[in-house]
């Protein structure tokens, strides 16, 4: 990383950590994660203890509960990545950013270099938080086995998808547009593809990310899932940098 890129990254770090929206968004993500994990843990324990239920799902890990919860609440966290840029477009500050750092690709690299580690830490902490919220409610039907590995995997996935979110907001220049595109990419298209039994579903980042975080061998090994998520990250970044270089603002 060159000196100019380091200086740009330092400025972006200051921008990220000194606005209240960053901390409110992280707090909201923590609350959503804790509540969702608690609810899923109660459902799992109830399925195993209710004599009338036909779903005897057995012992699960708190990491598996956290991954399921994150799949429903991940948009709260990724909103942070979107707000990181959309606010600049909304108030016109992006013009000052490009004047201070005329090389557009350097602006993107600086933002991604700051956002990715922040999202990694946030994803890892959210998994640990969710796991410890679920554990006492699971009782004999839950275990802490593999929580460290699950947390790190969720951190990696969060970092990658945070950068994808960053790419989307640079492409669309709108918080609403980027959130809508992210919802379509992570939820709508996978659901429709799986309903149609289309192989397209296996190439989508949410399906690949779940395979990576859960360590499942279906539809492919975790390493293949990570490769697909990274490929989406690279593709979103290249598209964003290409568009940035061609636009006036």
Range of the domain at 8: 3-246
Tell me how many domains the chain contains. Answer: 1
pLDDT tens, 41-60? 999 888 777 654 555 567 89
Mean pLDDT on 175-202: 91
Query: Is the entire prediction scored with pTM above 0.85?
Result: yes
- pLDDT of 249 reads 62
Q: 90-104, 138-152, 189-203: which range is least confident on average?
A: 90-104
The full 3-state SS of the chain, as one line of letters, equals CCHHHHHHHHHHHHHHHCCHHHHHHHHHHHHHHHHHHHHHHHHHHHHHHCCCCCCCCCCEEHHHHHHHHHHHHHHHHHHHHHHHHHHHHHHCHHHHHHHHCCCHHHHHHHHHHHHHHHHHHHHHHHHHHHHHHHHHHHHHHEECCCHHHHHHHHHHHHHHHHHHHHHHHHHHCCHHHHHHHHHHHHHHHHHHHHHCCCHHHHHCHHHHHHHHHHCCCCCCCHHHHHHHHHHHHHHHHHHHHHHHHHCCC
Residue 69 structure tokens? 């919860």
Plot region of 65 (φ>0 → left; ψ -120 to 50 → alpha; else → beta): alpha
Beta bridge partners of 60: 142
pLDDT tens, 88-139? 888 888 888 888 888 888 999 999 999 999 999 999 999 999 999 999 999 8
- pLDDT of 8 reads 87
Give yes or no for residue 1 having a pLDDT over 70.
no
CA distance linking residue 168 with residue 162, whole number of Å: 10
Of 12, 17, 3, 5, the closest CA to residue 97 belongs to 12
- pLDDT of 71 reads 87
């Amino acid at each position: 990383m060159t000196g100019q890129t380091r200086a740009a990254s330092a400025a972006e770090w200051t921008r990220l950590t000194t606005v209240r929206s960053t901390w409110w968004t992280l707090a909201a993500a923590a609350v959503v994660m804790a509540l969702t994990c608690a609810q899923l843990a109660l459902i799992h324990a109830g399925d195993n203890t209710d004599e009338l239920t036909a779903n005897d799902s057995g012992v699960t890990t708190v990491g598996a509960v956290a991954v399921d919860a994150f799949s429903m609440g991940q948009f709260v966290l990724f909103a942070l990545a979107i707000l990181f840029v959309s606010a600049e477009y909304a108030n016109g500050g992006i013009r000052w950013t490009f004047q201070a750092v005329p090389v557009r690709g350097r602006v993107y690299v600086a933002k991604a270099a700051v956002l990715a580690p922040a999202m990694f830490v946030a994803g890892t902490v959210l998994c640990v938080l969710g796991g410890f919220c679920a554990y006492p409610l699971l009782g004999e039907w839950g275990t802490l086995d593999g929580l460290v590995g699950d947390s790190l995997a969720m951190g990696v996935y969060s970092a990658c998808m945070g950068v994808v979110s960053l790419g989307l907001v640079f492409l669309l220049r709108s918080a609403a547009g980027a959130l809508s595109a992210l919802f379509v990419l992570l939820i709508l298209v996978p659901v429709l593809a799986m309903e149609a039994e289309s192989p397209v579903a296996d190439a989508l980042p949410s399906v690949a990310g779940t395979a990576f975080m859960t360590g499942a061998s279906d539809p492919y090994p975790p390493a293949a899932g990570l490769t697909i998520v990274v490929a989406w990250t690279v593709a979103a970044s290249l598209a964003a940098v290409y568009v940035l270089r061609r636009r006036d603002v």
